[in-house]
Structures are given as C-alpha cells and as structure tokens.
Amino acid sequence: MRELSLYILDIAQNSLAAGACEIKISVVEDTNNDRLTIKIADNGSGMTQTQKRQAADPFYTTRTTRKVGLGIPLLRMAAEQTGGRVEIISKPGKGTTLTAEFVRSHIDCLPLGDVVSTLMVLIRTRPDVDIYYKRVLDSRSYVVDTRKFKEILGDVPLNNPDVSVWVESYLREHEIQLAGH
Ligand SMILES: Nc1ncnc2c1ncn2[C@@H]1O[C@H](COP(=O)(O)OP(=O)(O)OP(=O)(O)O)[C@@H](O)[C@H]1O
Ligand SMILES: [Mg+2]
C-alpha cells in the first residue's frame, strides 16, 4: 500500500470484524521528535495472548476467504522500515488498541495520504459504529466524534447522502486548517 491512510482503513476493518461498535482513531504528528503515531482503539472482542501472537504471523487469520492475514504484518513492516514499531494491547471481551509509530523523515516513511477518505468509508459503510477521530500536528489539533453528529441529526442517518457530503467537507476543512498554518 502506498498510503498510511489505507493501513488505517485495514486495521479499522479488523475492529469491525471483531464486532466493535466504537473505534477511536488518532493520528499524531510530532515534527520535533520526528514521529508520526497512529493509534486505533476498539471495543471489539479483543484477543487472548495466543491470538495476539498469532496475529503477528501472516499465516494466521480468522478470515475464511484466504489463508493469510496480511493487515498487521504489513503495517508492522511499514513502521519498522522507518525505524518505528507496532504495539498491540488487547484484552478478550474488552477490545484492542494498536499503536503504530513511524519516523517521519525516514526515506521509507509512506505519506499519510487521505485519512478523510478512510474515515468516510467507515462512516458511510457503518453509520451505526461510533467513530472518534483525533488529529494532532504539533500544537494544533482537532477532534471529530460521530456521536456528537448523531445527537444533532436525531433520526437522520449519518450516511444520508447530504449529511455525509457535509461531514466530509467538515473533515476536509479541518485538515486544511491544520496543515495550512
Ligand atoms: N482489532 C482486533 N480485534 C480482535 N481480533 C483482531 C483485531 N485485529 C486483528 N485481529 C485478529 O488477528 C488476525 C490477523 O489480523 P490481520 O489484519 O493481520 O489479518 P486478517 O484481518 O485476518 O486478514 P487481512 O487483513 O489480510 O484481510 C485476524 O484474523 C483476527 O483474528
Ligand atoms: Mg485485517
């Protein structure tokens, strides 16, 4: 994959497959420490120690349509090739938190890419799942919580076409502000 945003989508799909109804995603760029940190936390089924070990092995997967699971091993490779790392904390019945750290200036560090599109795929396909997104670039940051949108919308679903167009432009506006100073 050419963009970290696609890895975020991949890892969030794991959360959905694990039955999560809440996914918290944070993307933190710290230019002073030269780090880009992506964290994806869910309240899905979680993994036992054994499952967690197996998840590090590309030949282990609970998917049934093919025999290798590549999501986590590929992300780990992408992080480690920059001198970063991936850490998974998981409790059965509670959920899973995956943290991926990248060294931003490393020549092999992939661009972050279009995180807004990743969020919109999640929102459009699973409006029932609550998404909390925190974006930090040094001292600037913003937070989007789909629960807040749902409170305002009442009976109108988050994937209503007009609503999702508005949500997307809201996110894009914030990304531009964050990058633009
Ligand atoms: N958030 C999570 N909650 C519970 N189990 C998880 C989670 N993420 C991964 N797993 C477990 O780890 C396994 C490996 O995950 P990985 O993303 O590497 O491969 P996959 O999802 O099986 O296949 P692919 O990502 O290639 O479609 C999964 O099959 C699942 O059993
Ligand atoms: Mg996966």
Which CATH number is 162's domain given? 3.30.565
* Ligand 1 mean position, distance from CA 82 (Å): 23
Domain that includes residue 25, residue range: 4-180
* pLDDT digits 0-9 by tens, 164-181: 999 999 999 999 999 886
Using DSSP, state whether 156 is helix, strand or coil.
coil
Q: Which ligand is nearest to the CA of 90?
A: 1
For residue 71, the model assigns a pLDDT of 87
Looking at the structure of the chain, the number of domains it has is 1
Q: Are 146 and 22 in contact (CB under 8 A)?
A: no
The neighbourhood of ligand 2, an ion, using CB within 5 A, equals 14, 71
> pTM of this prediction?
0.94
The pLDDT value given to residue 54: 82
Q: Which residues contact 56 (CB under 8 A, 6 or more apart)?
A: 72, 73, 76
Pocket test of ligand 1: the residue of 14, 57, 65, 70 to mutate, having most ligand atoms within 8 Å of its CB, is 14
Name the residue type at position 90: S
User: Relative to the CA of 96, which ligand 1 atom is closest?
Assistant: 1
Summarised one tens digit per residue, pLDDT across range 130-163 is 999 999 999 999 999 999 999 999 989 998 999 9
Residue of 39, 4, 13, 19 lying closest to 134 (CA atoms) = 39
Cα–Cα distance measured from residue 114 to residue 6, given in angstroms and rounded to the nearest whole number: 8
What stretches in the chain show pLDDT beneath 50? none
Q: Which residues line ligand 1 (CB under 6 A)?
A: 10, 14-15, 18, 42, 44-47, 55, 61-63, 69-73, 96
